[in-house]
Structure 1
Amino acid sequence: MSGSAEGRSEDRRRGGERSRALLDALLEGRPEPGLAARAAEGLELPERGRYAVVVLRAGGGGPAVGALEAAGLRFVRRRRTDRECVVVALGDRDPPALVALLARCGAGPGGVGPVADGLAGLGTARRLAELALLTRPPGTTEIVRLEERLPTALVVSQPELSARLVADVLGPLLALPPAERALLVRTLETWLECGGSAGRAAGRLYCHRNTVLNRLRRLERLTARSLSRPRELTETVLALDAFRLTAPHP
């Protein structure tokens, strides 16, 4: 009887190892013939269907599991040293609803890739979910979707070009004393958040509208970019994202 129990335990262990190996192969996007079909059987998930891959910082999978189970969603997870991947069978649910569910349970920070059409697309979805995670502002715990961060994702996916963009656009600004630089950066960020309204930005910054405009004009002189020209504004915004997410901070 003891041997039979040990045998069942060994079978479960081997089955778990096979399942993890199949999931790893899917998440790594290995081009193995028949992989999706084998994984569907081993993981007990449909080969075809709508899937989301969520990449969470280590420890986020615990709250996520409880929330997904409570919502009746089918999922599998893979833990790593510094992060966890959760593959969710969406059914007819949409990604924003999944993000809201995970945010309510405090599973973040995390990133969610675009919807994968079947198990064969999990490798790309995982890679893009990790990229989405990199676009998360430092110090925040939010869960972000790639589709909402595409320009920033372009920036963080090319560190060398991002560093060049920061140097070319923000170089003179970054040479200012830290407090002075922080004031101008915060003013620009607030102005952008307010849709380009100096009056609304002034309300948030507790200063006069003309103070906001003067700071923005000074920033334009330092960067040699006009905030009223769309192409130059785009360069400035992308450089700002690169500075916040990839450039070293003092």
Structure 2
Amino acid sequence: MGRDTEAAALLGPLLAGSAQPHQVRRAAQGLGLPERGRYAVVVLGAPAVVPSDGSGVRWCWCGEVGVVLLGPGGPAGPVARLVAAGAGPGGVSPVVDGLAELGLARRLARAALLTCGPGRREIVALEGRLPTALVASAPELSARLVAEVFGPLLVLAPAERALLVGTLEAWLECGGSVGRAAARLRCHRNTVFNRLRRLERLTSRSLSHPRELVETLLALDALRLTKVGT
């Protein structure tokens, strides 16, 4: 059995979340890793080769799933190494406290990966994508949400739909400021206002009503994860 195959065999039960205590101990001994420590899991869209950078960070791979033993810092450094190696798309779990928690970490990293849109090469941390991960983890509900909220937009011509969605995105990125969104889009503030009002009419949802705004935001996240609207 090759070294990579042996590592994958030891990691498999841990990443599946089904490892018994004796399997955790065996994996720690076989891999030369501490049972307790600061770990993160990365799930990639495809396997990648990550060269050593001499930093002492330990990687163990099981196909497209990587387990990294972190030092005092967080996963930002190792993730940057992945990006430099051309890996991606990928999702990164929160830090967990030991090998026994790798199953949970893998599930959370997978949820983060699901938030990467089609064709994207980004590697993202779950902490920055929690609402989107909720949407992406329930594809049937997400599709229904898009149809319910943005259904009337989906019958528009692609350019017209993209204009309205792009204006909404700019308005959100500008903190709900029509003036700043207009500057970003290089148009008059009344143009932004009129586009947003039209979007409200089409979706039957008010951007000034908190609950309806949340629903629109979640639907927008779901829309971004599909090729519709691109």
- TM-score calculated relative to the size of structure 1: 0.85
Would the alpha carbon gap of residues 247 and 14 (structure 1) be closer, same or farther in structure 2, given more than 3 Å must change? closer
1: CA distance, partners of 2:224 / 2:2: 45
Would the alpha carbon gap of residues 31 and 24 (structure 1) be closer, same or farther in structure 2, given more than 3 Å must change? closer
2:53 aligns with one of 48, 69, 80: 69
Counterpart amino acid of residue 136 in structure 1: C
**2:169 maps to 1:189:** yes
C-alpha displacement of 1:58: 2.0
- Give the length in aligned residue pairs: 230
2:8 aligns with one of 20, 23, 32: 20
Corresponding residue of 2:20: 32
Q: Work out which of the two has the higher radius of gyration on C-alpha atoms and give 1 or 2.
A: 1
C-alpha displacement of 1:95: 2.7
Gaps of 5+ in 2: none
Specify the SS of the correspondent of 1:69: coil
C-alpha displacement of 1:114: 1.3
1: CA distance, partners of 2:209 / 2:167: 18
Specify the SS of the correspondent of 1:164: helix
2:204 aligns with one of 224, 229, 237: 224
Q: Which has the higher helix share?
A: 1
Specify the SS of the correspondent of 2:116: coil
Q: Is the 8 A contact 2:57 2:78 kept in 1?
A: no
Corresponding residue of 1:46: 34
| Deviation readout 1:111-141 (Å, 9 max, x if unpaired) | 1011121001111111111110110133322
Q: Please, which moves more after superposition, 112-121 or 27-36?
A: 27-36
1: CA distance, partners of 2:161 / 2:9: 49
Q: Over aligned residue pairs, what C-alpha RMSD do you find? A: 2.0
C-alpha displacement of 1:103: 3.1
**2:186 maps to 1:206:** yes
| Deviation readout 1:12-45 (Å, 9 max, x if unpaired) | x366544321111111111434211110001111
Would the alpha carbon gap of residues 16 and 110 (structure 1) be closer, same or farther in structure 2, given more than 3 Å must change? closer
Specify the SS of the correspondent of 1:70: coil
Corresponding residue of 1:4: none
2:195 aligns with one of 195, 212, 215: 215
Q: Is the 8 A contact 1:191 1:197 kept in 2?
A: yes
- Where do residues 1-250 of structure 1 align in structure 2 (5 Å cutoff)? 13=1, 17-59=5-47, 61-62=48-49, 65-66=50-51, 68-79=52-63, 84-246=64-226
C-alpha displacement of 1:248: 5.1
Specify the SS of the correspondent of 1:88: strand
Would the alpha carbon gap of residues 94 and 16 (structure 1) be closer, same or farther in structure 2, given more than 3 Å must change? closer
Corresponding residue of 1:9: none
C-alpha displacement of 1:70: 3.1
Would the alpha carbon gap of residues 177 and 159 (structure 1) be closer, same or farther in structure 2, given more than 3 Å must change? same
2: CA distance, partners of 1:17 / 1:143: 25
| Deviation readout 1:212-231 (Å, 9 max, x if unpaired) | 11000100111111111121
Would the alpha carbon gap of residues 209 and 15 (structure 1) be closer, same or farther in structure 2, given more than 3 Å must change? closer
2: CA distance, partners of 1:17 / 1:102: 21
Gaps of 5+ in 1: 1-12
Would the alpha carbon gap of residues 14 and 178 (structure 1) be closer, same or farther in structure 2, given more than 3 Å must change? closer
Counterpart amino acid of residue 69 in structure 1: D
C-alpha displacement of 1:247: 6.8
Would the alpha carbon gap of residues 86 and 118 (structure 1) be closer, same or farther in structure 2, given more than 3 Å must change? same
